[in-house]
């Protein structure tokens, strides 16, 4: 908040209000979830159930790549500055 | 070894020539007022949007490492090679957390490198120097890995000889790369990455759909791979690997993923790609969009199993004694010649783009944090750019030495060695973006401890093929498991940093001046201090 520099000559002079604490907490959980999933290696180091010929170990990790992207996208939308949605 | 495949080589050369033309033409693409400014040559004008940045960072982060090293690790060791998938996923929450803040503060103060930020944040040129030298050092094996990728493709196409003639095609490819990087700067890899990624996506989709039909479906591929991995290795008498991690390897798997994910975004080439973005939101969005490439990486890793399930490929790789050839051999044997040529071009170009960005990143570090910081503080932007251009040539030469002099039996170890080093800069960069609690002397001491421990431990690891730098894994003290050295060294680094910080605080040593303010970390385009952002305005040679 300590803007010591001269005010920039852009129209966005008033910093828009930041995201609410609740939104930040949810975003934080979304960002931590992939770590919890992937670092629990023994929970997914197994053969079944198979999906489309893929052992669990493989489809589960590939699925979570997509879900990680969804989590980050969610965190992005939750903490986006209002007015910056272009 | 075998005859040159004319069709493959012709297609490969055509693509290479086309990319070279694009590389030189890139100097005119989105041209600024002058190329002789690091913001232009080294950061492409700091103006890229979400779309270009996605291609640029994708082309940057997913390199020969992805196409050659990861599948060959899966081919050689099974599930243990698959750790790069969790790595490719959990790196992005970290990118989301630190990327936008780094972009904002760099935009605000005109920083070109992460070491610029560290110097400004902690008021310490020496800490900046330590970060810069670490970055340059870590780039060398990573660029070398790109060369290994090109070499693998050339070998499979039958381009081989003895002595100098053997490495000549590699030299030619690298000389061309050096030339257009010199003239066009970051615009060259940015523009070429469109070609590269289009090629890669086509090749991988075709491979994933087509090859399983030739090998009895995914069930058949996994079954045959499991059988092949279970066979005892004649050298060690133990199985090469298995389809799943075991109690012995869970820790290694997790620590490799976590340690590498800490490194991903503070690698100099990632920072260079990110700072070339034009708006803060570009980085935030890309953190969510870039995992698309990690999905691709996962599918590419599975090519290792396809190679393992194909008897002809296994025989050829065994004959050559080089697991790096797994994927190129697979393409060579399964695809018609013309498409194999396209696939090889994809791998070759896919290695050039990151090599270009890495050499730009390393030379920016040298220029900003060694040359301007210590030798010529009043260097003009033109002079800085000239130095960067020259250094980019030297860096490539250094990487050539690396690739000709080091054991390449498992190229992934080259990248993991770079990771051990670069992770040691995370406290200063990643944590420094959020808090300045850690003291500059604490950070420097922690960095030194982490570097010393990491380098020595890596040096001390023997493998069946080499007596030093044989493995990125070592026993984790007090834990009793084997894990990635980078992470162990990082923990040591943090402990030392905290302890020394407390001591330095108690002794009331001055903390240095922080030239950044809280608002800098959330600033967006247009908030830059000297505001040369306006494309119509004049580029001032301000050095922050």
**CB distance A66–B281 less than 8 Å?**
no
Flag whether A47 is in a domain: yes
**pLDDT digit string, tens, across residues A40-79:** 888 888 887 888 888 888 999 999 999 999 999 999 998 8
Distance set, CA B476 to CA B80, B177, B453, B528 (Å)? 18, 41, 12, 45
SS3 B533: coil
**CB distance A8–B527 less than 8 Å?**
yes
Residues contacting residue B30 through CB under 8 Å, at least 6 positions apart: B44, B45, B47, B187
Q: Which domain holds residue A34?
A: 21-78
- Number of domains observed in the structure of chain A: 1
**Segments making up each domain of chain B, as ranges:** 6-412
Among B66, B71, B84, B86, the strongest candidate for a mutation testing the A interface, having the largest count of A CBs within 10 A, is B86
Q: So what's the pLDDT on residue B533?
A: 40
Closest residue of A to B526, CA-based? A10
Report yes or no: B223 at the A interface, CB cutoff 8 Å: no
Report yes or no: B473 at the A interface, CB cutoff 8 Å: no
Cα of A50 to nearest chain B Cα, Å: 9
- Rounded CA gap, B22 and B353, in Å? 12
Flag whether A42 is in a domain: yes
Flag whether A6 is in a domain: no
Q: CA B233, B67, B132: angle at the middle one, nearest 5?
A: 105
Nearest by Cα to B275 from B101, B393, B392: B101
Residues of A in contact with B287 (CB under 8 A): 72, 76
- Rounded CA gap, B224 and A53, in Å? 13
Residues of A in contact with B253 (CB under 8 A): 41
SS3 B82: helix
Whether B87 and B267 have beta carbons less than 8 Å apart is answered as no
Segments in chain B below pLDDT 70:
1-3, 160-166, 233-237, 405-412, 464-465, 526-544
Secondary structure of A13-24 in HEC code, one letter for each residue: CCCCCCCCHHHH
**CB distance B218–A53 less than 8 Å?**
yes
**CB distance B518–A72 less than 8 Å?**
no
Flag whether A66 is in a domain: yes
Pairing of strands B482-484, B473-475: antiparallel
Class of domain B6-412: mainly alpha
Q: So what's the pLDDT on residue B153?
A: 85
Flag whether A59 is in a domain: yes
Report yes or no: B244 at the A interface, CB cutoff 8 Å: yes
Flag whether A16 is in a domain: no
Flag whether A85 is in a domain: no
**CB distance B222–A53 less than 8 Å?**
yes
Whether B372 and B232 have beta carbons less than 8 Å apart is answered as no
H/E stretch holding B474: strand B473-475
Q: So what's the pLDDT on residue A6?
A: 46
Report yes or no: B52 at the A interface, CB cutoff 8 Å: no
SS3 B478: coil
Closest residue of A to B100, CA-based? A76
Query: Among residues 282-301 of chain B, which lie with CB inside 8 Å of chain A?
Result: 284-285, 287-289, 291-292, 294-295, 298-299
Residues of B in contact with A65 (CB under 8 A): 85, 88-89, 291, 294-295, 298
């Amino acid at each position: 908040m300590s803007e010591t520099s001269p005010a920039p000559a852009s129209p966005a002079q008033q910093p828009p209000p930041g995201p609410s604490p609740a939104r930040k907490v949810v975003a934080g959980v979304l960002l931590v979830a992939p770590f919890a999933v992937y670092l629990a290696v023994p929970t997914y180091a197994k053969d079944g159930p198979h999906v489309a010929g893929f052992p669990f170990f493989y489809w589960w990790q590939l699925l979570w790549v997509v879900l990680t992207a969804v989590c980050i996208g969610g965190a992005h939308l939750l903490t986006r500055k209002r007015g910056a949605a272009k | 070894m075998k005859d040159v495949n004319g069709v493959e080589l012709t297609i490969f050369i055509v693509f290479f020539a086309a990319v070279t033309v694009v590389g030189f033409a890139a100097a005119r693409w989105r041209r600024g007022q002058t190329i002789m400014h690091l913001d232009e040559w080294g950061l492409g004008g700091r103006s890229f949007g979400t779309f270009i940045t996605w291609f640029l960072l994708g082309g940057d982060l997913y390199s020969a490492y992805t196409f050659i090293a990861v599948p060959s690790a899966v081919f050689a060791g099974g599930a243990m090679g698959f750790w790069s998938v969790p790595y490719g996923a959990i790196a992005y929450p970290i990118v989301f957390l630190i990327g936008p803040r780094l972009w904002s503060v760099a935009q605000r103060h005109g920083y070109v490198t992460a070491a610029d930020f560290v110097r400004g944040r902690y008021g310490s040129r020496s800490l900046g120097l330590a970060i810069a030298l670490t970055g340059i050092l870590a780039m060398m094996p990573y660029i070398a890995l790109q060369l290994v990728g090109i070499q693998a493709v050339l070998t499979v196409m039958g381009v081989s000889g003895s002595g100098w003639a053997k490495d000549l095609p590699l030299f030619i490819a690298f000389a061309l790369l050096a030339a257009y990087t010199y003239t066009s700067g970051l615009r060259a890899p940015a523009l070429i990455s469109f070609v590269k990624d289009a090629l890669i996506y086509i090749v991988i989709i075709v491979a994933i759909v087509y090859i399983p039909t030739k090998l009895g479906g995914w069930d058949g591929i996994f079954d045959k791979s499991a059988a092949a991995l279970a066979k005892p290795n004649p050298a060690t008498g133990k199985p090469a690997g298995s389809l799943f991690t075991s109690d012995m390897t869970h820790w290694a798997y997790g620590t490799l993923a976590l340690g590498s994910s800490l490194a991903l975004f503070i690698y100099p080439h990632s920072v260079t790609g990110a700072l070339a973005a034009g708006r803060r939101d570009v980085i935030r969005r890309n953190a969510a969009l870039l995992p698309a490439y990690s999905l691709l990486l996962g599918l590419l890793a599975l090519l290792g199993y396809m190679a393992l399930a194909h008897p002809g490929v296994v025989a050829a790789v065994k004959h050559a004694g080089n697991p790096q050839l797994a994927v190129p051999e697979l393409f060579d044997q399964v695809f018609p010649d013309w498409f194999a040529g396209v696939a090889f071009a994809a791998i070759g170009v896919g290695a050039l783009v990151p090599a270009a960005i890495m050499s730009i990143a390393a030379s920016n570090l040298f220029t900003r944090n060694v040359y301007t910081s210590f030798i010529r503080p009043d260097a003009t932007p033109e002079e800085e750019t000239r130095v960067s251009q020259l250094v980019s040539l030297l860096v490539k030469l250094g990487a050539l030495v690396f690739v000709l002099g080091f054991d390449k039996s498992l190229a992934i170890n080259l990248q993991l060695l770079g990771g051990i080093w670069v992770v040691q800069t995370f406290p200063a960069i990643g944590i420094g973006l959020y808090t300045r609690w850690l003291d500059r002397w604490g950070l420097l001491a922690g960095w030194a401890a982490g570097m010393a421990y990491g380098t020595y431990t890596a040096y001390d690891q023997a493998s069946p093929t080499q007596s030093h730098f044989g493995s990125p894994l070592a026993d984790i003290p007090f834990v009793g498991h084997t894990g990635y050295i980078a992470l162990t060294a990082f923990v040591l680094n943090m402990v030392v940093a905290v302890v020394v910080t407390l001591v330095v605080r108690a002794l009331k040593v001055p903390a240095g001046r922080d030239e950044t303010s809280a608002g800098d970390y959330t600033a967006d385009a247009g908030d830059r201090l000297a505001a040369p952002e306006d494309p119509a305005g004049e580029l001032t040679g301000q050095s922050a």
